[in-house]
Amino acid sequence: MPPLTVHHLQVSQSERIPWLCEELGIEYELKLYKRSPMLAPPEYKALHPAGSAPTIQDGELTLAESAACVEYICHKFGNGKLFVKPSAPNYADFLYWFHSANGTLQPGLSRGNMIKLSGIDVTKNQILTLFQERAMATVKMVDTRLKDNDYLAGDELTAADILSMWSFTDMRFWYPYSLEEYPNIQRYIKRISQREAYKKAMSKAEPDLKLALDIEPPKPFFAPS
């Protein structure tokens, strides 16, 4: 039995972790959980006080929060692979895109999703309109970055990409936006979705899902009643 257990909640940002493990070539046990109906089921919530996906376990340790899980696994099991060393010329680029992925990009889109689920007419509220504009401005920034770079930190895939990819793909089951205006993100998605590790991870984590890899978003996964 491998020491590392990855708890994946259906159609959630925890899909990042099996993908990471496949990129690192490490063994892990994958446990799958269905949503009930929108949030994580009680047995998932019981894993960690945060009750959020992803959650991983390594022996006695239980850890949540995507970036913490990614950093822990890369250093504990992957010899620091997919992290950029301080001596490398693209170190600051890596830090920026690694942290902005979950510090700005993902929270911005999540906020947009909450607003949408609440059913509020955003066009009638200046603050909410501002939130949504800001969220899409971060997507635009990524698109600009990817114009001359195959991956966020430069020529090679890093942990910054592992954290970011979800925001342009399956996140759109929750916050449906088109990629029409983001041609470089479209190419990025194509590039990553052809990686063996990505394909292998998604076939294990989301075996029944047609992934949101197209330009237009999929039908929402959950519609509030």
Ligand X SMILES: N[C@@H](CCC(=O)N[C@@H](CS)C(=O)NCC(=O)O)C(=O)O
Q: Taking the CB of residue 89, how many other CB atoms lie within 10 A of it?
A: 8
* Residue 70 or 139 having the CB closest to ligand X: 70
* Residue 57 or 149 having the CB closest to ligand X: 57
Which residue stretch of 46-54, 74-82, 193-201, 215-223 sits at the interface with ligand X (rule: CB under 6 A)?
46-54
Residue 10 in contact with ligand X, rule: CB under 6 A: no
Binders of ligand X in range 47-76 (CB under 6 A)? 51-54, 65-66
DSSP string, 80-109: TTTS--TTSTTHHHHHHHHHHIIIIIHHHH
Angle between helices 196-205 and 16-24 (to 10 degrees): 140
Binders of ligand X in range 82-141 (CB under 6 A)? 102
* Residue 131 or 184 having the CB closest to ligand X: 131
* Residue 13 or 132 having the CB closest to ligand X: 13
Cis peptide bond upstream of 54, omega within 30? yes
Q: Taking the CB of residue 57, how many other CB atoms lie within 10 A of it?
A: 17
Residue ranges that bind ligand X, judged by CB under 6 A: 9, 12-13, 39-40, 51-54, 65-66, 102
